[in-house]
């Protein structure tokens, strides 16, 4: 898939105010500082479509970007360690769960995980929640340029071992690096394939 156009449409914290049309949505979410904005900018080929920041927890709203005029890339707030007040954090969690529960347009979520770290309980819990709520998702391992191929393999094996304790199969996953453009074609081809199954042409 070639991304010919990517435009910001809206930000809000109220799921009821998300775009009313029925275009398919793909939601990107992960812990604070996992490299989500960089990944979105890499996928869309736009340097600053999503705001990157050294300060974790920058995305605090549901951001809709219209891609190629026929699907939405949705940038969701990080869960976990952002340095924000407890009440703000509660609000995030509430509208994150509302988004996933109420958005019928959602085709799939992409859960971003920093490949350099051991499996984190908060990521595993979030994936478990998606599974229990029948929300399709893929794992996107980020920052792969920081590790050697063997270390990447070992980390993925660690994830498989833990996830297969509760899952029948390892969820679909991608290995990416925003700084090296790794994984871009694989993620976009997957979205293209899902859109194709929806007969978007």
Task: Please check whether residue 1 lies inside any domain of the structure.
Answer: no
Q: Kindly state whether residue 26 falls inside one of the protein's structural domains.
A: yes
Tell me whether residue 31 is in a domain. yes
Domain-located, residue 45:
yes
Rounded CA-CA distance 166/68 in Å is 37
CATH, residue 133: 3.40.50.300
pLDDT tens string for the chain (201 positions)?
A: 999 999 999 998 889 999 998 999 999 999 888 999 999 999 999 988 887 655 555 567 899 999 999 999 999 987 765 555 666 666 657 788 889 999 999 999 999 999 999 999 889 989 998 999 999 999 999 999 999 999 999 999 999 999 999 999 999 999 999 999 999 999 999 999 999 998 754
Rounded to whole angstroms, how far apart are CA atoms 45 and 5?
10
Q: Which domain holds residue 71?
A: 6-197
Give Cβ neighbours of residue 9 (< 8 Å, ≥ 6 apart). Answer: 19, 64, 65, 66, 72
Strands (E), 13-149: 25-30, 62-67, 71-75, 106-114, 137-142
Residue 182 lies in a domain: yes
Residue 167 falls inside a structural domain = yes
Look at the chain and report how many structural domains it folds into. Answer: 1
98 in helix, strand or coil?
A: helix
Q: What is the pTM of this model?
A: 0.91
């Amino acid at each position: 898939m070639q991304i010919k156009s990517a435009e910001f449409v809206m930000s809000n914290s109220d799921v009821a105010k998300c775009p009313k049309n029925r275009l398919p949505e793909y939601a990107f979410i992960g812990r604070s500082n996992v490299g989500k904005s960089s990944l979105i900018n890499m996928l869309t080929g736009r340097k600053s479509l999503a705001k990157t920041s050294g300060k974790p927890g920058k995305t605090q709203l549901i951001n809709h970007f219209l891609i190629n005029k026929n699907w939405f890339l949705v940038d969701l707030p990080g869960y976990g360690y952002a340095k924000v007040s407890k009440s703000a954090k509660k609000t995030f969690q509430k509208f994150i769960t509302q988004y996933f529960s109420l958005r019928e347009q959602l085709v799939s979520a992409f859960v971003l995980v920093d490949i350099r770290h051991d499996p984190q309980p908060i990521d595993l819990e979030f994936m478990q929640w998606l599974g229990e709520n029948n929300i399709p998702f893929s794992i996107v391992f980020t920052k792969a340029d920081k590790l050697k191929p063997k270390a990447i393999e070992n980390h993925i094996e660690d994830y498989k071992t833990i996830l297969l304790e509760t899952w029948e199969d390892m969820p679909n996953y991608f290995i990416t690096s925003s700084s090296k453009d790794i994984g871009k074609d694989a993620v976009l081809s997957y979205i293209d394939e899902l859109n194709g199954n929806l007969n978007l042409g």
